Amino acid sequence: MIWSISDSKTFRRCQRQWYYKKLGNARARDPLRRRLYLLNKLQSLSAWRGQIVDTVISEVVIPAVVSRRRVTLELVKARAHQLFDLQLSCARKHELMSPGFSPTKLGSEFAAFHCMEYGGTINDDEIKKAADEIDQALTSLFSMTELKDLLKAATMLIPQRALIFEHSGVSVRAVPDLIAFFDNRPPVIVDWKVHVFGIDEAWLQLAAYSLALTRCKPHKDFPVALKTFSATQIELAEVQLLRNRVRRYSLIAEEVESAEAYIAGSSTEMLLALEGKQLNQVSAIDFNVTRFPGSCQSCQFRSVCWGGNA
C-alpha cells in the first residue's frame, strides 16, 4: 500500500472518501472505478488557484533560474493567466462525464470544478478573487530577495520529484514542491503555500519530506553527498505566498520521532481497515463515513456515496 500525508488526512476525515479515492482507476473496465477516477479530478477554486501558481513556478520560474535566464514577473503572470483562461474554459464546459472524455489528452488545459458537478455554476466573484490572488502570490515570490538568492546559489533545483521509502509495512510517497541541492550545505526543501491566513504550519508534511529525501532510494541525478545527511539536517522553507512570508526551520529529533509515529499509526489504521484484503475485495460499506456532515458538501464522491452505487 502507498501512504501519503494527503491520504492520511482523507482517511481521518472520512474512511469511505479514502476508499473511493484509492479505488478510482483511469484504465479500469469497471464503470464505477472509472467514474471515481474522474470524480477525484474535481477541485475547489481555491485548490485550482494554488495549482496554477505551483505549475508556473515549477515550469517557468525554476527552469529559468537553473539555466541562468532572466525571467520577468510580467512573463510569469502572462503564463499564469494563459493557463487560467484555458483551464477555466475547460471547467465551464464540464465534459468530465461525457463518453470518451480523457483528462490526460487535454494535458495542461484540463480543469474540473466541484461546483460545476454539484451545482452547475461558477461564482464569478470567486473567479476574480482567484485571479487576483494568483497575481498577488507571484508578485510576492518576485519580491522575496533572500529566497531568490538561495535558489540562485543552489547547484541543482528539482521541482515536483516523487520520493518513496518503506516504513511500517507501507510505501511512503512524498512529492516536495522543490528540492534545492548545494555543494557546501544540506539540501533545502521548499513548500509553496497559497492560502490567505497562513494558519497551517504544515510541519508534519515537511517532516515527511525530510524523511523521504534522506531515506528514499536516490534518483540518478541526486548528488552522492545526500547519503551523508539526516532528516534533522535538512533545511525546510514554508513559503506563504499570500502573506509574503518565508518560515524556515529544521526538525529536532523528537519531531522526527513524532512524524515516524504518525506514519506508523496512520498506516496501521488503513491496513486494519482493509483487513488484509485488496481494495477490489472490499466495498464502501466496510468503511466508516465522516462524523462531520459538513465534510460531505465538499466531497468529490458525494454522488456515488449518497447514491448507494458502491
Q: Per-residue pLDDT for the chain (310 aa), expressed as one digit of tens each?
A: 999 999 999 999 999 999 999 999 988 889 999 999 999 999 999 999 999 999 999 999 999 999 999 999 999 999 999 999 999 999 999 999 999 899 999 999 999 999 999 998 999 999 999 999 999 999 999 999 999 999 999 999 999 999 999 999 999 999 999 999 999 899 999 999 997 544 445 678 889 999 999 999 999 999 999 999 999 999 999 999 999 999 998 999 999 999 999 999 999 999 999 999 998 899 999 999 998 878 899 999 999 999 865 5
The type of residue at 27 is R
pLDDT value of position 310: 54
User: What is the spatial distance between Cα 203 and Cα 92, in angstroms, rounded to a whole number?
Assistant: 36
**Contacts of 126 by beta carbon, 8 Å cutoff, 6+ apart:** 45
Dihedral angle, C-alpha 12, 17, 18, 21, nearest 10 °: -150
Report which DSSP code applies to 227: G
Q: At what angle do helices 203-215 and 5-13 cross, to 10 degrees?
A: 140
All structural domains of the chain, each given as residue ranges with its CATH number in brackets, are 18-143 (no CATH), 145-276 (3.40.1350)
Q: 0.85 cut: is pTM over it?
A: yes
Q: Which three cell numbers stand for residue 117?
A: 458537478
Closest CA to 226 of 179, 161, 263: 179
Helix (H) or strand (E) holding 238: strand 235-240
pLDDT value of position 27: 85
Q: Which three cell numbers stand for residue 219?
A: 534518483
Could you tell me whether strands 156-159 and 178-181 are parallel, antiparallel, or unpaired per DSSP bridges?
Answer: antiparallel
pLDDT value of position 309: 56
